Structure 1
Amino acid sequence: MALKATSVRLDEETLSRIGEMADAIDRPRAWLMAQAIKQYVEREDGFIQDVQKGIEAADAGRLRNHEDVKAKWEARRANQMD
């Protein structure tokens, strides 16, 4: 069930850019803003859930050595640069 949202206040530049984007994809400005908010909420909700999992893992004593994690990420970054 879709509920009607309250109004959102945006500065003129952002509102203008949203209008240009909406025109470029032939969609209403309200549709584009709704999609942007939906994507933001999904992304942030996923982040919050991941943080909660990390907290629960730490509380349970499931921790990783900092140097091991650092080495893993440095290796991954080096492989991306090849």
Structure 2
Amino acid sequence: MESRTLKRVDGLANAMSRSRAWVINHAVERYLDYEEWFVGEVKQALKEAEAGHVVEHKTVVKRWERKRAARVDARR
């Protein structure tokens, strides 16, 4: 591990009254949780796309433009 990263880990461990190992384990667990979720979402989206459940680009653009316009109007 790079020394700068290790110093950050140690600083966080100290601030939390935890061990270096606890901080690293906690960080790895959070990373794995997110990456596993993300891979699952991508796999599901690919299945949906293969089944033809997609939204045309023009439809997405129109929805985005309406949403953006609504936000601009709400700020006025």
TM-score w.r.t. the length of structure 2 is: 0.81
Tell me the distance in 2 between the aligned counterparts of 1:77 and 1:54.
Answer: 28
- Report the AA paired with residue 79 of structure 1: R
1:39-78 matched pairs, under 5 angstroms: 39-74=30-65, 75=67
**Counterparts in 2 of 1:79 and 1:54: CA distance versus 1, 3 Å:** same
Question: Which structure ranks higher in relative contact order (CA pairs < 8 Å, sequence separation ≥ 6)?
Answer: 2
Structure 1 vs Structure 2 CA RMSD = 2.3
Unaligned ranges ≥5, structure 2: none
Task: Give the paired residue count.
Answer: 73
**Structure index of larger Rg:** 2
Q: CA deviation at 1:68?
A: 2.1
1:6-21 matched pairs, under 5 angstroms: 10-21=1-12
- Report the AA paired with residue 38 of structure 2: F
- Aligned residue number for residue 5 of structure 1: none
Q: CA deviation at 1:78?
A: 5.9
Unaligned ranges ≥5, structure 1: 1-9
- Aligned residue number for residue 71 of structure 2: 79
**Counterparts in 2 of 1:73 and 1:45: CA distance versus 1, 3 Å:** farther
Sequence identity of aligned pairs in percent? Answer: 32
Q: Say which of 5, 10, 17 aligns to 1:26.
A: 17
Residue 38 of structure 1 pairs with residue 29 of structure 2: yes
